[in-house]
Structure 1
Amino acid sequence: GGGPGCVSDAPDEKSPVEARIEDQVLSLMPAITGGDLPFLGCCYGIGILGKHLRADVSKRAYGEPVGTAECALTDEGADDPLLAGLPDRFSAFVGHKEALQELPSGCTHLVASPTCPFQMVRYGRNVYATQFHPEADAAGFETRIRIYRHKGYFAPETADDLIAMCRAADVHAPERILRRFVARYGD
């Protein structure tokens, strides 16, 4: 995930808070996936979904530095209700140490990027997860950079350059995904 906690970390590497949060969220996943309940897991959420579905989630490959990724809709993504009408290619904010190493069983592959093939997946009809951050705008990512400055995601002295890059980035399509999710399921 993009926070200090990663589902692929060994249990003895997790703080008590991280372990408790992971256990609590994982305990909800059987009801969510079994009932095909509306769910949008962002960054850490794709790791949680992957772990629940027994997919390989690790730091072996596909981690991305803090910044932007150029994402592309798959054919299935172009037809998905949350993604239909979005540009075929769009920029999104990323920053994570672990990632799905494979498409989890039962999932539909919706969005990919050259650096991380599984940027967005759907399980069933209503369970979504993204590796990128649809909830983040430049100001939000600036806050995240300041908070995680000393968490090993980037050299601390590069924080100001990363903030400038985020402010200059054209990242607008991902927020449309979040708005569509709320519009579709928010009743």
Structure 2
Amino acid sequence: MPLVYMCVRPQRGAADAEYESFRSMSQVGGDQLEMHDLVHDPLPPDAFERWSGFLVGGSPFNVTDPSSTKTDVQLRLEADLERIAAAAAAGTTAALFTCYGIGVVTRMLGGEVSRRFPEDTGPATVALTPAGEHDPLFGGLASRFTVLTAHKEGSGATPPGSVLLATNEACPVQAFRVGDWLYATQFHPEASTHAFVERMEIYRNGGYFESDDFDTLAGRVLASSVTEPGRILTAFARG
């Protein structure tokens, strides 16, 4: 069975580009990674029979948005993501959630997501924990490496039942695992520096950074060496 990229971005151009980033970094063909637009189409009843694993992309949505301000689409989408996370935590499928998705998983597990741990748009350095150094997906990475981030919320502690895999000072929970098959990262493992800059252009007025700072931030991203995060996806795809 193929893997599936779960699109949770309303902006179709950003979603299509993110799919291609996931496919490229996973080193799989198009027939091995399908795309499902969760913004417009609910999780199908046979999802766990149709796909062998789930890659969940980022989104301009925030878990910490007040429920009263969330659209019906966002509320339904988050419920669908929780179903995927619960199945992966139970070991009935595999899933890797990124950025916005780590907040959904954290909340589902009873952890706290807040606006106290944002990170600027651009490169950041994360370090593996001892558990991360021995993890099946993270264990082959450098002990410290550069990632690409852009988020308004995060967590200071891992949720119950999870194992911290990567951390940094600005946002202590950069990656964790639940059981053997549920992974979540705060950073973006899929984006190359050029793809990330293209995404920055789409979200230039999205509140992640001052639009006048675009050229400076883009230059910082393009000058970065981001070699390790994509290896997480390759290892995940190889199962």
TM-score normalized with structure 1 length: 0.92
Q: 2:161 aligns with which of 84, 106, 112?
A: 106
- In 2, Cα distance between the equivalents of 1:53 and 1:149? 32
SS of structure 2 residue aligned to 1:99: coil
Maintained 8 Å contact 2:122/2:148: yes
Q: Percent identity?
A: 39
- Tell me the matched-pair count: 183
What is the deviation of 1:76?
0.5
Q: Is 1:69 the equivalent of 2:124?
A: yes
Evaluate the alpha carbon distance shift between residue 6 and residue 45 of structure 1 in structure 2; reply closer, same or farther with a 3 A threshold: same
What is the deviation of 1:125?
1.2
What is the deviation of 1:36?
5.2
Aligned residue for 1:26? Answer: 82
SS of structure 2 residue aligned to 1:57: coil
Q: 1:44 aligns with which of 100, 115, 118?
A: 100
Q: 2:73 aligns with which of 17, 29, 46?
A: 17
SS of structure 2 residue aligned to 1:105: coil
SS of structure 1 residue aligned to 2:136: coil
Maintained 8 Å contact 2:91/2:180: no
1:76-127 superposed Cα distances (whole Å, 9 cap, x missing partner): 0000011122111000000100112321111001000121111000001111
- In 2, Cα distance between the equivalents of 1:40 and 1:4? 18
Aligned residue for 2:109? Answer: 53
Question: Unaligned 5+ residue runs, structure 1?
Answer: none
What is the deviation of 1:2?
5.6
- In 2, Cα distance between the equivalents of 1:148 and 1:124? 34
- In 2, Cα distance between the equivalents of 1:36 and 1:122? 15
Which range moves more in the overlay, 19-28 or 156-165? 19-28
Which range moves more in the overlay, 61-70 or 89-98? 61-70
SS of structure 1 residue aligned to 2:135: coil
What is the deviation of 1:32?
2.4
Q: What is the Cα-based RMSD across aligned positions, in Å?
A: 1.5
- In 2, Cα distance between the equivalents of 1:151 and 1:110? 29
SS of structure 2 residue aligned to 1:100: coil
Maintained 8 Å contact 2:85/2:95: no
Aligned residue for 2:211? Answer: 156
Which range moves more in the overlay, 18-27 or 4-13? 18-27
Amino acid at match of 2:212: E
Evaluate the alpha carbon distance shift between residue 16 and residue 157 of structure 1 in structure 2; reply closer, same or farther with a 3 A threshold: farther
SS of structure 1 residue aligned to 2:97: strand
SS of structure 2 residue aligned to 1:129: strand
Aligned residue for 1:146? Answer: 201
TM-score normalized with structure 2 length: 0.73
Question: Unaligned 5+ residue runs, structure 2?
Answer: 1-56
What is the deviation of 1:28?
3.0
- In 1, Cα distance between the equivalents of 2:109 and 2:83? 13
Instruction: Map residues 168-183 of structure 1 onto 2, 5 A cutoff.
Output: 168-183=223-238
SS of structure 1 residue aligned to 2:104: helix
- In 2, Cα distance between the equivalents of 1:2 and 1:28? 15
